[in-house]
């Protein structure tokens, strides 16, 4: 495959399948730590923490072993990484990275290494991609990759043809995260610096809903996530808040159905986008600084800020169903915290594999923390840390393959790292 030329000053090594520096140099000492994130500036001083329940952690030998790493030839920070979890268990392990104005797609061969499959270069050399997310074309089942960043434009890329098949402009500023619906592959969620969240139909190219306004986020939306059924959205941002938005209501379901048949060429009026000003739940009691990563864990939430811990918590009371939440009730229950060290910045995001209950988060010095959760009690975990003496840059994001056999992370120095699970007898549920 031809190599994409660099738009800016490039290092000697270009992104390639097998890195020439595959010698394994490991520090397999296990320990516990805590982290936080930053893309361009460090947040303000941290406030004093409240007393909380911390996870009962057993320190173990690292469950992952270094395989290889490479450096992408643009030489800029890589902010996003995502595995394609929609592929079958007999298909190759595929992931994508987002950094500079590039989206690169790699395969993880069974015998190790990294194989570069495709590089998409945005036509705007000033673009900087922050995030990427996988879906597929419903008629052909061909893989689609959505990416966005600094310019506030969403690109939906046909990976097989390496071309953009959808461009979405609506956010007024940068887009910090994208997520596809877990069950309806045509629904794409975006969170932006313009304080808003948008829900798109990428088949008919319409914006179904905008979440924000009166009681929405008061600053950048940094992270968003669908729950496993695609009925609820959790968002977080620079305003220190976490907000729950329900999309399983009759109004939303009707609007989603209408979006599937809407044809702009045949309609005299634009699509009637829902303006959702009021979240179904909101709290600022979990974190006291930027909340830059949030993911669902069943009915629990995993979120992190600039306070050196990932917090596992639940809206409302522990045994209260989320449907029983009252609009003005901001109460929440903290289950436990997972602590880490040396990450005094924002926009560093953890990876979570919900099928194998495992979390990975990197810090500003290239160390990655692993927590393997006890399915019966999230407070009981097995933890370890991963080190390689050549990995010294900020780890921006981590990602697991669906079967958890491979862990990948990306760094500010344009490097991509692959680690393999030691016990290879891992099966996808």
| Element of type H or E holding 177 | strand 175-180
Q: Which residues contact 376 (CB under 8 A, 6 or more apart)?
A: none
Q: For 15-28, how does the pLDDT look when each residue is reduced to its tens digit (9 = 90+)?
A: 333 333 333 334 44
Note whether 213 and 229 are within 8 A (CB). no
- Give me the pLDDT at residue 319, please: 84
- Give me the pLDDT at residue 46, please: 38
Interval 167-172 mean pLDDT: 92
Alpha carbon distance 90, 65 (integer Å) = 23
- Give me the pLDDT at residue 59, please: 57
E-strand stretches of 293-376: 293-297, 300-304, 309-315, 332-339, 351-353, 358-362, 368-374
| Element of type H or E holding 260 | helix 250-261
Residue 207, beta-bridge partner list: 200
Q: For 49-85, how does the pLDDT look when each residue is reduced to its tens digit (9 = 90+)?
A: 444 566 555 556 789 999 999 999 999 999 999 999 9
Alpha carbon distance 183, 232 (integer Å) = 12
CA torsion sign for 109, 114, 116, 120 is positive
pLDDT at 1 over 70: no
Judged on CB neighbours under 10 Å (0-12, 13-18, 19+), 51 is exposed
| Element of type H or E holding 416 | strand 415-421
- Give me the pLDDT at residue 54, please: 62
Interval 256-281 mean pLDDT: 93
Note whether 57 and 382 are within 8 A (CB). yes
Alpha carbon distance 38, 207 (integer Å) = 29
Interval 252-260 mean pLDDT: 96
Going across the sheet that includes 143-149, the strands are 129-136, 143-149, 153-158, 163-169
Q: How far is CA 159 from CA 105, 115, 259, 315, 408, in A?
A: 8, 15, 25, 38, 20
Would you state the structure tokens that stand for residue 203, as one six-digit string?
């088949």
Would you state the structure tokens that stand for residue 48, as one six-digit string?
């004093």
Torsion of CA 309, 313, 315, 321, to 10 degrees: 160
Reported CATH class of domain 64-421: mainly beta
Residue 143, beta-bridge partner list: 136
Q: b or e along 383-393 (b: 16 or more beta carbons within 10 Å of the residue's beta carbon)?
A: bbbbbbeebeb
Backbone angles phi, psi at 134, to 5 degrees: -100, 145
pTM for the structure as a whole? 0.86
Lowest mean pLDDT among 4-18, 272-286, 291-305, 346-360: 4-18
Domain boundaries, the chain: 64-421
Alpha carbon distance 129, 81 (integer Å) = 11
Q: For 285-318, how does the pLDDT look when each residue is reduced to its tens digit (9 = 90+)?
A: 999 999 999 999 999 999 999 888 999 999 988 8
Alpha carbon distance 114, 417 (integer Å) = 9
Percentage of the chain beyond pLDDT 70 is 84
- Give me the pLDDT at residue 151, please: 96
pLDDT at 378 over 80: no
Q: How far is CA 124 from CA 8, 100, 127, in A?
A: 13, 11, 6
Alpha carbon distance 39, 343 (integer Å) = 12
Alpha carbon distance 79, 38 (integer Å) = 11
Cα 1 to chain center, whole Å?
Answer: 28
Would you state the structure tokens that stand for residue 427, as one six-digit string?
């099966």
């Amino acid at each position: 495959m031809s190599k994409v030329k660099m738009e800016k000053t490039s290092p000697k090594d270009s992104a390639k399948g097998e890195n020439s520096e595959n010698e394994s140099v490991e520090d397999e000492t296990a320990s516990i730590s805590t982290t936080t994130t930053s893309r361009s500036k460090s947040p303000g001083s941290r406030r004093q923490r409240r007393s909380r329940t911390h996870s009962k952690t057993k320190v173990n030998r690292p469950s992952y072993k270094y395989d290889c790493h490479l450096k992408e030839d643009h030489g800029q920070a890589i902010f996003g990484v995502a595995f394609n979890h929609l592929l079958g268990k007999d298909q190759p392990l595929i992931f994508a990275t987002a950094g500079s104005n590039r989206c690169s797609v790699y395969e993880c061969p069974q015998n190790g290494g990294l194989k570069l499959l495709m590089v998409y270069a945005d036509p705007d050399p000033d673009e900087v991609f922050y995030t990427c997310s996988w879906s597929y074309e419903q008629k052909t089942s061909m893989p689609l990759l959505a990416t966005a960043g600094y310019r506030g434009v969403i690109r939906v890329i046909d990976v097989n043809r390496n071309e953009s098949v959808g461009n979405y402009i609506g956010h007024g500023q940068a887009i910090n995260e994208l997520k596809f619906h877990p069950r309806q592959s045509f629904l794409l969620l975006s969170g932006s610096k313009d304080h808003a969240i948008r829900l798109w139909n990428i088949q008919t190219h319409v914006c179904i809903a905008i979440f924000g306004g009166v009681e929405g986020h008061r600053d950048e939306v940094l992270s968003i996530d669908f729950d496993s059924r695609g009925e609820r959205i959790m968002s977080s941002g620079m305003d220190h808040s976490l907000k729950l938005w329900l999309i399983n209501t009759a109004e939303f379901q009707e609007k989603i159905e209408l979006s599937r048949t809407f044809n702009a060429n045949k309609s005299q009026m634009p699509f009637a986008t829902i303006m959702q000003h009021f979240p179904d739940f909101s709290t600022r009691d979990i974190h006291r600084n930027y909340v830059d990563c949030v993911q669902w864990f069943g009915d629990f939430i995993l979120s992190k800020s600039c306070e050196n811990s990932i917090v596992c918590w639940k809206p409302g009371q522990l045994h209260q169903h989320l449907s029983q939440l009252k609009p003005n009730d901001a109460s929440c229950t903290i289950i436990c915290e997972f602590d880490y060290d040396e990450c005094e910045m924002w926009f560093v995001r953890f990876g979570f594999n919900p099928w194998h209950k495992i979390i990975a988060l990197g810090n500003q010095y290239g160390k990655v923390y692993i927590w393997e959760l006890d399915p019966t009690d999230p407070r009981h975990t097995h933890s370890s840390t991963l080190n390689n003496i050549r990995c010294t840059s900020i780890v921006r994001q981590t990602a697991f393959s669906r079967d958890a056999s491979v862990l990948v992370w990306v760094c500010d120095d344009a490097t991509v790292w692959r680690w393999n699970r030691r016990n290879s007898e891992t099966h996808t549920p």
